[in-house]
Chain A
Amino acid sequence: MKIAVCVSHVPDTETKVKIGSDGKTIDTSGVNYILNPYDEFAVEEALKIREKDGGEVVAVSLGEDANKETLRKALAMGIDKAVLLKDEHERDSYAVAKGIAEYLKSYEPDLIFVGKQSIDYDNLQVGGLIAEFLGLPSVSVAVKLEYADGKLKAEREIEGAHEHVEVTLPCVVAAQRGLNEPRYPSLKGIMQAKKKPIEEIEAAQAESRVKVLGMKKPPEKQPGKIVGEGVDAVPELVRLLREEAKVI
């Protein structure tokens, strides 16, 4: 079994985002980058399948040199090899997916994992787009997987319920929190990762379809208002919710 895991290099969840001077990108100074948390579930699932059924897992990341840090973490967790699809320019989800799909055409994996979303731009598109470019079935927000006899049974999170689906391989699976508990890279894994090469390939060109015009922070939160206490305050509260806040 050949498994590809697409990993993305994103700002740490604790980052206090500042908008850059161009007003269109974030200010990256002082920002810590991490392996996208949803991609950690994807890496873990790929490793579990490999441990059970054998095969090879490759981690693929599209972006700058700095993405190697994230690829190293994936290697330290146990991934066999890593590929950096180099491009220093900002890409939208379409162009990222296109670049990755072009590479995957040559790698021909049986199974492709992505995190259900990257926590930087939260577009939730890359998994579906890769599947579309490669003409493969895709399963999004997967919380449980079972692989047997060339078929994959998956459980997906849907509004208020779980949906059970079955797909044939090759396919794309987008991992959701709950799919597994990602392992920590062990110190031995980290040492071994140092010896594993990261292959660098120029990413296939693709035009972004979405242009960012500007970024704005949400307005500062206004302090709340206390309209009174106890039952006596209810009529006034209702009036304000209706007339001022216009929410009821």
Chain B
Amino acid sequence: MAKFQGVDYFDLDDVLEDDEILVRNTVREFVEDKVIPIIEKHNRESTFPKELIPIIGELGLIGSTLPEKYGCAGMNNVAYGLVMQELERGDSGIRSFASVQGALVMYPIYTFGTEEQREHWLPKLASGEKIGCFGLTEPDYGSNPSGMKTRAEKKGDRYILNGAKMWITNGTIADVAVVWAKLDGEIRGFLVEKGTKGFSAPEMKGKHSLRASVTSELVLEDCEIPEENLLPESGGLKSPLMCLNQARYGIAWGVLGAAMACYHTALDYSQTRIQFDKPIGSFQLIQEKLTHMVTEITKGQLLCWKLGRMKDAGTLKHTQVSMAKRNNCYHALEIARMSREILGANGILDEYPVMRHAANLESVKTYEGTHEIHTLIIGQDVTGIAAFT
């Protein structure tokens, strides 16, 4: 198959800075060399490629928008988005790893933590020496996290945590969990370290999606943590939602990478697969699909590019992030399915990446705010009437 050269139908490179392009090309090269050759095996065996963590850390792909003084790259949000895009061209699981670590662990420690907490955790998380996870969702509280049952109780100079979290990326391999629990009725963030008595993180098995990523439960049974593990500036549901907003931003970019991988595969296949004595790309029904795919990718790119510039300018609204996440996930999944159709029976084989991406995107469409919840967030924004509470 021809080497992936990016998808840039609207000359978007023109509106990117040189260093943003260099970041993107570097991550693209890394994914081509180190991720794509091993990813199908990990997906088949349902294992996370832990061997990539040190290189991902060394390259600076974790928490890359945070300041240099914490060992991070201090990049802008467009460059960060391009990193997510290229990682997810490899696999949504790899992007999820970096996304969770950066947006859902480092970001809350940076935003709600003390200087000691920042200095202790951020450099180690940035380098990949330590791994983190984020525990908000519970078995009975997904789209309505405000109903969470996990509780924290102050006892002397310690907090006692009780409850259970579910669908936690990186959970089992994490050295630290950012756990959200109600303290006197208010949602607060706590740092729970691996090995703390009363804390366990069993891996969830049997996934048909995100197989090259670790997904876990977090179990807290009279789990005692020192009082300095509270994230002092966190307070209310707004705090975890601010984190999710960061992660959703990365997802909006990331899924474009998965979509590009599928489009690239389908385009190449359509030019080389011969039926009725000609390449299938010469048939109108195939051309219609390819046109739809490249158009939706291009629209998604434009959304993300503007989203990134607004995020850097500080003018971004969370409803705009919802729109980009919702739209891009929806179309990335649609593109993956179309790509599978163009590849016919070959599309189901793991010789091609499309079925893996399609399966992954089913999760990505649902996590960090389902397609439906984002629909209602925008619905509320435009009508002024909430369809949910």
B2, B5, B23, B68: the one contacting A190 at CB < 8 Å is B23
In the complex with contacts A184-B30, A186-B59, A191-B68, A32-B75 CB distance below 8 A? no
Nearest chain A residue, comparing its CB with the CB of B73: A187
Chain A residues near B58 (CB-CB < 8 A): 186
B18, B22, B73, B83: the one contacting A188 at CB < 8 Å is B73
The number of residues on chain B lying at the interface, defined by a beta carbon within 8 Å of a beta carbon of chain A, is 21
B contact face: mostly helix, strand, loop, or mixed:
helix
A132 to B23, CA, bound (A): 38
A20 to B2, CA, bound (A): 24
Asked if A187 and B75 sit within 8 Å, CB to CB, the answer is yes
Least CB distance from A76 to B in Å reads 6
A69 within 8 Å of B (CB atoms):
yes
A193 to B58, CA, bound (A): 16
Nearest chain B residue, comparing its CB with the CB of A69: B18
A186 to B79, CA, bound (A): 13
Chain B residues near A194 (CB-CB < 8 A): 19
In the complex with contacts A191-B73, A191-B74, A191-B75, A185-B5 CB distance below 8 A? no
Asked if A32 and B19 sit within 8 Å, CB to CB, the answer is no
Asked if A187 and B2 sit within 8 Å, CB to CB, the answer is no
A243 within 8 Å of B (CB atoms):
no
Asked if B61 and A187 sit within 8 Å, CB to CB, the answer is yes
Which B188-205 residues sit within 8 Å CB-CB of chain A?
A: none
A190 to B59, CA, bound (A): 10
A91 within 8 Å of B (CB atoms):
no
Least CB distance from A178 to B in Å reads 16
A144 within 8 Å of B (CB atoms):
no
In the complex with contacts A185-B22, A188-B73, A191-B75, A14-B2 CB distance below 8 A? yes
Least CB distance from A229 to B in Å reads 23
A187 to B59, CA, bound (A): 6
Least CB distance from B254 to A in Å reads 17
A98 within 8 Å of B (CB atoms):
no
Q: By CB atoms of chain B within 10 A, which of A32, A186, A189, A190 has the most?
A: A190
Nearest chain B residue, comparing its CB with the CB of A189: B60
Which B28-83 residues sit within 8 Å CB-CB of chain A?
A: 29-30, 58-61, 64, 68, 73-75, 79, 83
Asked if B19 and A193 sit within 8 Å, CB to CB, the answer is yes
Q: By CB atoms of chain A within 10 A, which of B30, B60, B68 has the most?
A: B60
Chain B residues near A189 (CB-CB < 8 A): 60
Asked if A72 and B22 sit within 8 Å, CB to CB, the answer is yes
In the complex with contacts A14-B2, A32-B5, A185-B74 CB distance below 8 A? no
Chain A interface (Cβ < 8 Å from any Cβ of B): 12, 14, 32, 69, 72-73, 76, 184-191, 193-194
Can you list 7 A-B pairs with a CB-CB distance of less than 8 A?
Answer: A69-B22, A72-B22, A185-B22, A186-B58, A186-B60, A188-B68, A194-B19
Interface contacts beyond A73-B22, A187-B23, A190-B19: sample of 12 additional A-B pairs, CB < 8 Å, sorted by A: A12-B5, A14-B2, A72-B22, A186-B73, A187-B26, A187-B59, A187-B64, A187-B73, A188-B68, A189-B60, A190-B75, A194-B19
Which 5 residue pairs spanning A and B have beta carbons closest together?
A187-B60, A187-B73, A186-B60, A188-B73, A14-B3
